[in-house]
Amino acid sequence: MPRTSSEALLRPDLGCLAFEYSMSAASQGFIGRQVLPPFSTALQSSVYPVIEAGTFLELAETERAARAAYARGDWQFGDDHYFCKENGWEEPVDDQEAALFKNYFDAEVVAVKRATLMVLRSQERRVAHKVMDTAKITNAPVAKAWNDYANADPLADVVKAKEAFRYTVGLKPNALVLDEDVLRHVSMCAAVMERVKYTSPNAIRGELTIEQLKAYFGVDNILVAGAVYNSAPRNKDKKIETVWPLDKVLLACISSGGQDLKEPALGRTFVWEEDAPGELVTEQYREEQTRGDIYRVRQNTDECLQFPGAGYILTGVTTGHSANDGFDLP
């Protein structure tokens, strides 16, 4: 129903739709909010704690003599700053189009879903760029590219990364993050099938399940990225590219979420609750000069690395691909 006021109206009913849609987006390969889980904050900008690499590795004498004081730690958190920035997208719904198609779909629902998808895709790219940054996160090349099916040994590469993890920060990674194309390459490797067949005799090459691969790699979680976008200019032939790189995978300690910043985890997404409660805000306003309603979805966030040592990037995972190599479509 068209509105008569140009003042933006908060639409919590559509906000619930946007939130539910964002939750279901994880099944479509939008994994950014799992890699850097949201942390609600009352401040747009502030200091957050950074855990230094050696904090959990200190070995000290703990024996206490009678009447003596206990040994105690004197380490301190480092700190960094976050600054939440607003990201949003608007979709117009023309009165004539809404009336013309009302028997087929609800125009405002379609508008909100599209606006939500635009915001989520932008956030997904920010997270991917942040956590796959080899200038900030320790990295090493794999021995053989994982699309070299006859010679690659993905498990050996991941085991070496786990060893580096242990002897640099003393942590055990709980997640492997990779694009679905890379996952498919893993399922095609001869070395992978040779090992998996003993625990899963019915395993099908190229179609290994997440549970089978979690057992193979020895990780609690495998986060599979599937988000794509069209990088071609408007009105040009489509060029579909992956948001997450095809030549890198990330081994990481991922936060369990919640309001605890003390756990040693890769990072968090700070969400300014005062401006954007619930992560995504949906609003509507009237634009009379175009005889339509405008639907806006927005957020106010900063995606931050809290402990870069809780990540390890394997590079050169596939050959023949750049970080975001596109596929041309007619």
Instruction: Give me the pLDDT at residue 233, please.
Output: 86
Q: In CATH, what number is assigned to the domain containing residue 235?
A: 3.90.1690.10
Closest Cα to residue 88, out of 120, 113, 111, 110? 120
pLDDT digits (tens, 9 = 90+) for 271-321: 999 888 878 899 999 999 899 999 999 999 999 998 888 999 999 999 875
Domain assignment present for residue 36? The answer is: yes
Confidence of residue 328 (pLDDT cuts 50, 70, 90): very low
Task: Name the residue range of residue 287's domain.
Answer: 9-51+78-318
Domain assignment present for residue 59? The answer is: no
The answer to whether residue 43 scores a pLDDT higher than 70 is yes
Domain assignment present for residue 56? The answer is: no
Residue 83: other Cβ atoms inside 10 A? 12
Domain assignment present for residue 63? The answer is: no
The answer to whether residue 103 scores a pLDDT higher than 80 is no
Choose between 319 and 27: higher pLDDT: 319
Long-range contacts of 149-155 (CB under 8 A, 24+ apart): 149/185, 149/188, 149/189, 149/190, 150/190, 152/185, 152/189, 152/191, 153/189, 153/191, 154/186, 154/189, 154/191, 154/192, 154/217, 155/191, 155/192, 155/195, 155/216, 155/217
Domain assignment present for residue 242? The answer is: yes
Long-range contacts of 230-237 (CB under 8 A, 24+ apart): 231/324, 231/326, 237/328, 237/329, 237/330
Do residues 280 and 19 make contact, with C-beta atoms less than 8 angstroms apart? yes
Instruction: Give me the pLDDT at residue 6, please.
Output: 65
In the chain, the number of structural domains is 1
Instruction: Give me the pLDDT at residue 32, please.
Output: 95
Instruction: Give the predicted TM-score (pTM) of the model.
Output: 0.86
Instruction: Give me the pLDDT at residue 162, please.
Output: 95
Domain assignment present for residue 62? The answer is: no
Confidence of residue 109 (pLDDT cuts 50, 70, 90): confident
* Residues 38, 255: Cα–Cα separation, whole Å: 10
pLDDT digits (tens, 9 = 90+) for 225-280: 999 988 888 888 888 899 999 999 999 999 988 888 878 899 999 999 988 887 88
- Exposed, middle or buried by CB within 10 Å (0-12, 13-18, 19+), for 288? exposed
Domain assignment present for residue 69? The answer is: no
Average pLDDT over residues 212-220: 96
